A = this chain, B = another copy of it.
């Protein structure tokens, strides 16, 4: 196991009706003037935003609003949010929504207290300072509610890039599984896929002898395999929603990823798909992962066999472990298809003729020099091959 530091100071408040505690929590973490940041109309229509405002009012906390966050959140709204916060003297950013809203809120929080262009952070500068951020989560997916990460799409060129820093870890996150019950099945499934991707990307490691984190990742994958179909069958299953929600947070606060190298090639390769076609991130991952994993299989057959046996219940073929390994990848692909996810390029609206453009941005965009690295290293030709495997 490699040396590591682990720090996850977010206060999680989990369960039914917990959004009513938002005001008290903002106050506890020093907020007096809040930016209420959200996406489309659903948090307005559902009455959630009103309940949050009521909770802020009860504590005498004032607020300004900025809605309109899109999936794959854009730089334009971040600039707008930074200006608004500066003008209004905002001292706390409260995200009400999913990963996109939270990521946008984190970008604003970092940008407000930074003299330069906030995009510097997405070019690799570490975030050292930010306004405090809180979240009220409405979809179990990105894990942004407990992570120090944010992913934003830069509109001039449609680059999708990530930034990181403990300063943007949420001070608190309110997780009410009931809020996720109104999600359409496709969004629910995309969230499940994103959570499983966070687990697989940590599982695919070149570190040896990391049994504790292997087992923890497997535990969370097994939870998704058990609860995913239950929630697709009955969207109002609170218990299944609750298990998925906590698994989503544990999958990405890194308690199961410490001390080991991680992969993240699937995320990197997918980012170009959702940036270009504006597909749901989870849907893009469902198409990307099986292809990437098949390409990676020969690099470490036993690792893929291990997850096949332990998570997918495959019988170990001791004479031909690569068959077990492949069976596990196919079982995962079938699972994704069974919960309603696309598994081919065409289903995403992606086109073969775009592959050279995708590969060029992927391997050469924004400071990269002809390759990307994770579990293995991939050059342009190999990336093109993987995109073709998705067809």
| A residues whose Cβ falls under 8 Å from a Cβ of B | 1-16, 18, 177, 208-213, 215-216, 218-220, 222-223, 226-227, 239-240, 242-244, 246-247, 250, 255, 258-259
Contact = CB atoms under 8 A, between A and B. Distances in A.
B11 A5 contact: yes
B227 A223 contact: no
Contacts of A215: 219-220, 222-223
B14 A3 contact: yes
B250 A216 contact: yes
Contacts of A14: 1, 3-6, 258-259
A311 B239 CA distance: 24
A258 B255 CA distance: 15
Contacts of A1: 14-15, 177, 239, 242-243, 246
B15 A4 contact: yes
Given A3-B16, A8-B8, A210-B243, 14 more contacts: A2-B15, A3-B14, A9-B9, A14-B259, A15-B259, A211-B227, A212-B220, A212-B227, A212-B243, A212-B247, A215-B223, A218-B219, A246-B258, A250-B255
Contacts of A223: 211-212, 215
How many copies of this chain sit in the oligomeric assembly? 2
27 contacts: A1-B15, A1-B177, A1-B242, A1-B246, A3-B15, A3-B16, A4-B15, A5-B11, A5-B12, A5-B14, A6-B14, A7-B9, A7-B11, A7-B12, A8-B8, A209-B239, A209-B240, A210-B243, A212-B244, A212-B246, A213-B246, A216-B219, A216-B250, A246-B258, A246-B259, A250-B255, A255-B255
Contact of A5 (B13, B239, B258, B259): B13
Nearest to A227: B211
A216 B220 contact: yes
A226 B211 contact: yes
Nearest to A223: B212
A239 B208 CA distance: 9
A12 B255 CA distance: 11
Of the candidates A2, A9, A216, the one having the most CB atoms from chain B within 10 angstroms of its own CB is A216
The 3 A-B pairs of least Cβ separation, nearest first, read A3-B15, A9-B9, A219-B219
A75 B87 CA distance: 56
A34 to B, nearest CB: 21
Nearest to A246: B212
Given A4-B14, A11-B5, A211 B255 contact: no
